[in-house]
A and B are shown apart, each in its own frame.
Chain A
Amino acid sequence: MNKDFALLAYFKTPSELLHAAQKAHEAGYRKFDAFSPFPIHGMDHAMGLKPSVVGVISAVGSLTFCGIAILLQGWTSAIQYPLVLSGKEFFSYQAFVPITFELSILGAALFAILGMFHFNKLGFLYNPLFNSEKFKVTNDDGFALGIEVRDPMFDDAKTMAFLQSLQPTDIEMVKEEE
């Protein structure tokens, strides 16, 4: 038994998609997305998206790894395993700078990627949109606006009429397996 998942309208150019996304946002739709083979300049604004918080997550990761690096080096060198080497201080913070720096960068990179994976739900290999053969063009040279059925504004007839008013090349209902 299949039920409806989203209504997709296909366009030929990035500017048509940008225009359509803006119209969808203005019409009050919220559970919609604009699919394109590459990021389109100005699309975040047109869709009314809030800025991505991946940066905050990355900063948290960087600070965490920075703290771990200082604790690891300080604790092992000064407390757990103090060795006299060339008369240097046990806690020689100057010498700890390079590794602290490298690990902070590692933390920033790892958390940025994990944060991005989380928000984009990467790793979930299945999405109902993949049931559509036609949807595949959006990774090649096609552009599509998809409005999900679970959007409170969604109404079979009205949404169809709205999408038709945007003059797409094609409209398709994608099904979801129950």
Chain B
Amino acid sequence: MSQISVKKAVETPLIEGNPTFGSITEKISQITETWKVPNPPVWLLGFGAALSLLMLLGGSIGYLFWRGIGVWGVQIPNAWGWAIINFVWWVGIGHAGTLISAILFLFRQKWRTSINRAAEAMTIFAVMCALVFPTIHVGRVWAIYFTLPFPNQMGMWPNFRSPLLWDVFAVSTYFTVSLLFWYVGLIPDLAILRDRAKTKARKIVTGILSLGWRGGNRQWQHYEKAYLILAGVATPLVLSVHSVVSFDFAVSQLPGWHTTIFPPYFVAGAIFSGFAMVLTLMIVVRKAYGIEHIITMNHLDKICKVLLATGLMVGYAYTIEYFTAWYSGNPYESFIFKARAGGQYAWAYWIMFCCNVFVPQVFWSKKMRSNIAVMFIVSILVNIGMWFERFVIVVTSLAQDYLPSSWDYFTPTFWDVSIYLGTFGLFFTFFMLFLKFVPMVAVSEVKAILPQADPHHHEGNHHE
């Protein structure tokens, strides 16, 4: 008896305000059904801005295809520029969504249910943005299908011994599994929308998408099993994807890239930047849609703690790279690390180091973890820092390779910037559509973590 009361005193409720099942249904479903929340101009403004950036992306890519890769700042020795940086950055952001939906599910972290739907949507859209870059950076984009293994008239097959091809398989598998995982999670919520549908069009669309879901326990049984398996396979998948991305670098011979620390270092960085993006988005979404009782300060607090932990991990990786460079006794390795912190790109290195290692340290303080403004600024700074991390890795190693005669300073062009900004258009266009037309919180999962969902709820009260 005393144990129960101690536990209750310590645990803050995951969903505030003691809502009923019906009020959760109503709150989330009505967002997709009416234009009341938020005011239409707010949504239209955001959607319009995103759409303009998307058009910038379309125009820039069109120009890129017309003129060729030369419109970018890439030049020997910097044959890889912003395209690969942006690719790694966007894939990394996606990883937090899978971490929240799969890994936290396996660890029975119930707080994930309030944010997993939106975080998974973020994953899917971020991976779409990421996939833009490898596709357009091949130059002869009409030949991109050469990467796929299928019998063709040329008698040609892809090179399965290349990390770049591993990447094709890893990222496309990741996209497919993330999309399916998200959709499976959506089925019961789409059935809610189907049952509430008033117009013919809504009835048809939600009726088809919900696949005839009834919500009987004979369905829930298989559904929960499949969901568990998906979480179980998505967990090693998410770890493998960024490991494979890091192989693009680590399997090469270049100083600064050819290191065994890359896979775990990349995975930690990916989760770090992804959680920062989740924080940025959730702070805005919970306010705009008035769902602060579902995505609570407690949730934001936990996200900040994850940021702090993963920030320390990347800080450790940055530091241990110097130890390895020194301890290996390899002069090329030592040179490149001296060049990173003190060379021509030192400005980028220290932006990275400050944003990723120093800034998140504010989250040791509970006060900072409950200050929305601080959290928002830190989340933005972390994503800037993580972009610079990839910039530092890609550009510093390439700009000063083995032959001093070929050294050069990398400068981006207008088209580098416009395509990068354009992918924000792609991301936010889809994200705004998601917010408007899809239940942004997993309704059936949130109901399941309410206290009254436990069949022994009343008996528990009785014993007290």
Contact = CB atoms under 8 A, between A and B. Distances in A.
Interface of A: 13-15, 17-18, 21, 33-44, 47, 49, 52, 54-55, 58, 62, 72-73, 76-77, 80-81, 83, 85, 88, 92, 95-96, 98-99, 101-103, 105-106, 108-110, 112-113, 115-117, 119-127, 129, 136, 138-141, 146
B166 A99 contact: yes
Contact of B170 (A54, A98, A112): A98
Nearest to A43: B217
Given A39-B224, A106-B173, A121-B212, 17 more contacts: A14-B455, A15-B455, A15-B458, A17-B455, A18-B455, A35-B215, A35-B216, A38-B447, A40-B217, A98-B244, A109-B229, A125-B207, A125-B211, A126-B212, A138-B215, A140-B22, A140-B195
Between A36, A120, A121, the greatest number of chain B beta carbons within 10 A of the residue's beta carbon is seen for A120
Contacts of B220: 36, 38-40, 43
Given A92-B161, A102-B240, A115-B226, A38 B453 contact: yes
B185 to A, nearest CB: 11
13 contacts: A15-B459, A18-B455, A37-B25, A40-B455, A43-B220, A81-B156, A98-B163, A98-B247, A103-B173, A109-B177, A109-B234, A140-B22, A140-B25
A111 B24 CA distance: 32
Interface string B426-464: 000000000000000001110110001111111100000
A83 B21 contact: no
B458 A77 contact: no
B407 interface: no
Most central of B22, B217, B244 by chain A CB within 10 Å: B217
Nearest to B168: A99
Interface stretch (B186-194, B331-339, B375-383): B186-194
A56 B53 CA distance: 46
A98 B226 contact: no
B52 interface: no
Please classify how large the interface on chain B is, using the bins under 10, 10 to 19, 20 to 34, 35 or more. 35 or more
A14 B454 contact: yes
Given A21-B217, A33-B216, A102-B237, A141 B21 contact: yes
Contacts of A85: 159, 161-162
Contacts of B211: 117, 122-123, 125
Interface string B137-164: 0000000000001000001111111110
Q: Is the interface of A mostly helix, strand, loop or mixed?
A: helix
Contacts of A36: 215, 217, 220
A136 B22 CA distance: 12
B214 interface: yes
B214 A127 contact: yes
Interface string B218-237: 11111111100110011011
Contacts of B195: 136, 139-140
B20 interface: yes
A11 B180 CA distance: 33
Contacts of A112: 225-226, 229-230, 233
B176 interface: yes
Contact of B217 (A44, A73, A80, A127): A44
A42 B225 contact: no
Contacts of B37: none
Given A21-B217, A127-B212, A39 B448 contact: yes
Nearest to A119: B222
Nearest to A95: B161
A49 B217 contact: yes
A55 to B, nearest CB: 6
4 tightest A-B contacts by CB? A141-B21, A33-B216, A116-B226, A38-B448
B219 A83 contact: no
Given A37-B21, A105-B237, A140-B195, A116 B222 contact: yes
A129 B213 CA distance: 11
Nearest to B247: A98
Contact of A76 (B149, B169, B229): B149
Nearest to A33: B216
Interface centre among A44, A52, A109, A110 (most CB of B within 10 A): A109
Contacts of A139: 25, 188, 191-192, 195, 213, 215
Nearest to B452: A13
Contacts of A54: 222, 225-226, 229
A88 B160 CA distance: 11
Given A36-B215, A122-B211, A109 B454 contact: no
A77 B229 contact: no
B32 to A, nearest CB: 15
A73 B221 CA distance: 37
Contact of B173 (A21, A88, A92, A105): A105
B165 interface: yes
B4 interface: no
Contacts of A121: 212
Interface in B241-261: 244, 247
A73 B212 contact: no
A113 B217 contact: no
B250 to A, nearest CB: 12
A90 to B, nearest CB: 9
